[in-house]
């Protein structure tokens, strides 16, 4: 196997040399298929990697073309090698652009304050007060509306603007699968005039 193609795949994905070599042999040197296979294999491992510590990474900025919206995003990785990977940087830029467009309020469901959740549930429940529906039915409707609330307000639950078939959480996990290291969104701030 030609070492230049192994090196190229490693630069594209951040995966280890042996992983790249083995996958390239498996797909007869087809670079695109190799990236796809590494991604599929890695998604299953992403959950396990999710507990590993992320102390490296980078901060990216995104300024929308109208110069009225800006985003700062902290994207974390396990090593500085991955933080310099072009795929990692592309992921960071995509997420920052998504934040500019979709204006999430929270990173994840666990970041939503309890009082906000209680207020939302109360508002949704009041919509059906006196509608003649059983409490069980109202509870199911309220939980469905809470799922929608999370999708609209929590970054990890939002559908990615470039591919609405995946959430931001799935997008990150897919990149974890390709790169082979834990990746976490640290913090973000969105500014708008």
Instruction: Kindly state whether residues 60 and 86 are assigned to the same domain.
Output: yes
Residue carrying structure tokens 């797909």: 27
Enclosing domain of residue 126 = 113-153
Can you give the pLDDT at residue 42?
61
Beta carbons within 8 Å of 68's beta carbon, 6+ residues apart: 192, 193
Residue 55 and residue 128 in one domain: no
Tell which residue, 35, 4, 43, has the closest CA to residue 19.
35
Between CA 141 and CA 126 the distance in angstroms is 12
Do 47 and 75 reside in the same domain of the chain? yes
**pLDDT at position 44:** 45
In this structure, the answer to whether residues 128 and 58 fall within a common structural domain is no
Residues 123 and 174 placed together within one structural domain of the fold: no
- Please indicate, yes or no, whether residues 39 and 89 belong to a single structural domain of this protein: yes
Residues 51 and 143 in one domain: no
Full-model pTM: 0.71
Residue ranges of the alpha helices (H) in 27-179?
31-49, 80-83, 86-102, 114-127, 135-153, 168-179
158 and 85, same domain (yes or no): yes
Task: Quote the number of domains for the chain.
Answer: 2
The reply to whether 87 and 28 lie within a common domain is yes
Please indicate, yes or no, whether residues 52 and 128 belong to a single structural domain of this protein.
Answer: no
Q: In angstroms, how far is CA 189 from the centroid of its own chain?
A: 16
Domain containing residue 118: CATH number: 1.10.286
Is residue 159 within 8 Å of residue 102, measured between CB atoms? no
- The alpha carbons of the chain give a radius of gyration, in whole angstroms, of 20
Contact status, residue 96 vs residue 67, Cβ threshold 8 Å: no
The structure tokens 């199911």 sit at 140
Distance CA 55, CA 148 (A): 32
C-alpha to C-alpha distance for 99 and 168, rounded to whole angstroms: 10
Rounded CA-CA distance 8/10 in Å is 5
Tens digits of pLDDT across the chain (193 residues)? 677 888 887 777 666 677 788 888 889 888 888 878 876 666 445 445 555 677 788 999 999 999 999 999 999 988 888 888 888 999 999 999 999 999 999 999 999 999 999 999 988 888 877 777 888 888 888 899 999 999 999 999 999 999 998 999 999 988 887 777 889 999 999 999 9
Same domain flag for 168 and 91: yes
Same domain, 26 and 119: no
We report the CATH number of the domain holding residue 40 as 3.30.479.20
């Amino acid at each position: 196997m030609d070492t230049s193609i192994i090196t190229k795949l490693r630069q594209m994905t951040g995966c280890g040399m042996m992983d790249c070599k083995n996958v390239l042999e498996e797909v007869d040197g087809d670079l695109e298929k190799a990236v796809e296979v590494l991604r599929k294999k890695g998604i299953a491992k992403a959950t396990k990697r999710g507990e590993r510590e992320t102390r490296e990474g980078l901060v990216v900025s995104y300024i929308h073309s109208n110069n009225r919206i800006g985003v700062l995003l902290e994207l974390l990785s396990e090593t500085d090698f991955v933080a310099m990977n072009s795929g990692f940087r592309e992921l960071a830029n995509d997420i920052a652009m998504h934040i500019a467009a979709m204006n999430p309020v929270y990173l994840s469901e666990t970041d939503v304050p309890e009082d906000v959740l209680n207020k939302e549930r109360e508002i949704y429940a009041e919509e059906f007060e006196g509608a003649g529906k059983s409490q069980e039915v109202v509870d199911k409707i309220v939980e469905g509306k809470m799922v929608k609330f999370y999708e609209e307000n929590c970054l990890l639950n939002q559908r990615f603007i470039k591919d609405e078939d995946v959430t931001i959480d799935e997008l990150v996990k897919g990149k974890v699968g390709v790169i082979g290291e834990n990746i976490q969104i640290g913090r973000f701030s969105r500014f708008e005039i």
